[in-house]
Structure 1
């Protein structure tokens, strides 16, 4: 991309985003349309990365580029990798992103971090947060809007903030301080019915023998192939996708909390849906998986 063109970026951002995402979708669909992918087709996908290298540090390309790069690292694109790329493209080109939703969600994360900055959460702060949420009800159904709204409404409808309630609020809000210093949110919470629970299981019991495992996200310690070997060596069976037959979905610890969608990707989304439908499926943080591996020897 010629340097002279960059000065026009601010005037064409929306159209450039649409063009880039549509091009990537077309490339992925085109090179996989016959069910086979050769080295020349992978190289063609690499040209998309090269064409966007000047903006790979800016959103949303800083979210897309690692997904594409990881998919082609071994010279083969599996169906799961293809679906991950297409899912993320569709999310990023939706009205949720291209409208004001992305900015408002990022602001919500920062608001929660700001409330928690002094280590105290007051009833007055919760009432102010409740008003803020009401003014942005277009965020409903997007994580963590519903979780925050339910928690705040429940506390304000009670008898004030006692020690136990304050501890619960601190545990929730503290996660969003991580957003402000580029660390990964470790234990995001999810609304299931009337309860707020962790997306990732807390201190899960992990049994390897005969169990099925799937991995999503980037690991701070292992490659995907190494994850598979660890499971197989301990009598487990790795799967490439999320299905009702899956027992453990391991979520990698690496990530960028300012990403709007990739930190909560397609596999996690599907696993949450299956869990809500009654599937006995555990979503496990990578750190807990490491502990289980060490315990299993």
Structure 2
């Protein structure tokens, strides 16, 4: 590689790192009130399109994938909005970069973990997933015969995404987990499992 090419590659890496730091500051500002409105989401999408070199960072590429999925149909639903908030919270806390995942001991997972079935079972996905977007997880489960949707008293499995902060009770999806725990404690047959456990049963 020539000196000029080497210098260009180094400059590109430095620019990418600078943009990632700018993005983290931007994300903290957007999340100051703990939520994201449509204007903020669209602004973030435009910023990422204009700062393309930031996408080389795996943290950012995951955020871009979730933004693209949320905006694909022109309507950002509540679950997609919560997913974006969780992803950006992880980005600002460096959770993806540090490889931090929710420890089983911090989550109200079923113990022992159940053998999972998909065919005819109702699944609800919440959190941020290593597998892909929530819709991609739902598509994989639906392909095996599962019925995917929001958390209800008829839900058979609540699947919690692998990435999140340790303070999950205060996260955007904490209320959903606590609701599932309440129903489970009341005797409803809802099972709470991790993304890792769900992926073991994809076949």
TM-score range, shorter chain: 0.5 to 0.7
| Partner residue in 1 for 2:41 | 46
2:108 and 2:192 in contact (8 A); partners too:
yes
Shift of the 257–291 alpha-carbon distance from structure 1 to 2, 3 Å rule, reads: same
* Alpha-carbon shift at residue 182 of structure 1 (Å): 5.8
CA distance in 1, matches of 2:136, 2:169: 28
Q: Gaps spanning 5+ residues in structure 2: where?
A: 1-28, 49-62, 87-94
1:257 and 1:263 in contact (8 A); partners too:
no
Q: Which of the pair has more CA radius of gyration?
A: 1
1:136-180 Cα shifts (integer Å, max 9, x gaps): xxxxxxxxxxxxxxxxxxxxxxxxxxxxxxxxxxxxxxxxxx9xx
What is the number of residues matched between the two proteins?
Answer: 149
Shift of the 257–218 alpha-carbon distance from structure 1 to 2, 3 Å rule, reads: same
Query: TM-score normalised to the size of structure 1?
Result: 0.40
Query: TM-score normalised to the size of structure 2?
Result: 0.56
More relative contact order in 1 or in 2 (CA 8 Å, sep 6+)? 2
1:182 and 1:257 in contact (8 A); partners too:
no
| Partner residue in 1 for 2:138 | 228
| Partner residue in 1 for 2:190 | 281
Q: Gaps spanning 5+ residues in structure 1: where?
A: 1-15, 29-41, 54-65, 89-177, 190-197
What value does the CA root-mean-square deviation take over the aligned residues?
4.0
CA distance in 2, matches of 1:222, 1:187: 20
* Alpha-carbon shift at residue 209 of structure 1 (Å): 1.5
| Partner residue in 2 for 1:212 | 122
| Partner residue in 1 for 2:55 | none
2:102 and 2:163 in contact (8 A); partners too:
no
Shift of the 182–261 alpha-carbon distance from structure 1 to 2, 3 Å rule, reads: farther
CA distance in 1, matches of 2:44, 2:33: 12
3-state SS in 2 of match to 1:188: helix
